[in-house]
Amino acid sequence: MFGSMERTPFPTVNELLDLLMSPRQSVAIDWPGVQRAIGSVLPADYRHLVERTGPLKVGDFLVVFSPACANPFVDLLGNLGPRLGALQVLKRSCGDRECPYPLWFEPGGLLPWGASDNGDVLFWATRGHPDQWTVVVGESRGPAYEEYPVQATRFLCDFLDGRIQSRIFPDDAVGTPAVRALASE
């Protein structure tokens, strides 16, 4: 693959970059603008990853959103409203039974950062400092949620290594231990 990319201080980011199937120019992201739009700094490991790759496809199953994408399907900011709005409607009609987590802007609320090909959503559980945020997977067609006590890039590496045991993802979800940059236009 392309292990010669610039190294980062994050071993999991470097693992993912080593698996990148094609080289990609660094992506210019207006992090202060993203911070203003979201209302928070995002985790450093995530920022280092998407600065080097833009949006990603991981293991031919998971998509990592990135800010500043013209493609609305992979744009981080463009996915916040629809994904959180759907959960707000669900919580209003069914209460916490269908979504037992608070949603972003609430303390510890879910903030989407990716999705699966099946429509499952990858969230940060925004507890504590952004570099302490962990991963929650929300099922697309049901009320199941799974929480993983790791950062986003560790979750992606564990997914590729087959260490993620999920009842939400299909058994054959890990198709290949590859990482592909997606078109951001």
Cβ distance 137 to 166 under 8 Å?
Answer: yes
Q: What is the CATH number of domain 11-181?
A: 3.40.1580
pLDDT at position 9: 87
Strand partners, 56: 64, 181
Question: Is pLDDT of 4 > 50?
Answer: no
Q: How many helices (H) and strands (E) does the chain have?
A: 5, 7
pLDDT at 151: 97
* Residue 31: its H or E element: helix 31-38
Residue 6 has pLDDT above 80, yes or no: no
- Contact assessment for residue 89 and residue 103, using Cβ atoms and an 8 Å cutoff: no
Structural domain boundaries of the chain? Answer: 11-181
Q: What is the mean pLDDT of the chain?
A: 88
- Is pLDDT of 102 > 80? yes
pLDDT per residue as tens digits for the range 124-180: 999 999 999 999 999 988 889 999 999 999 999 999 988 888 999 988 887 667 787
Q: For residue 28, which amino acid is it?
A: A
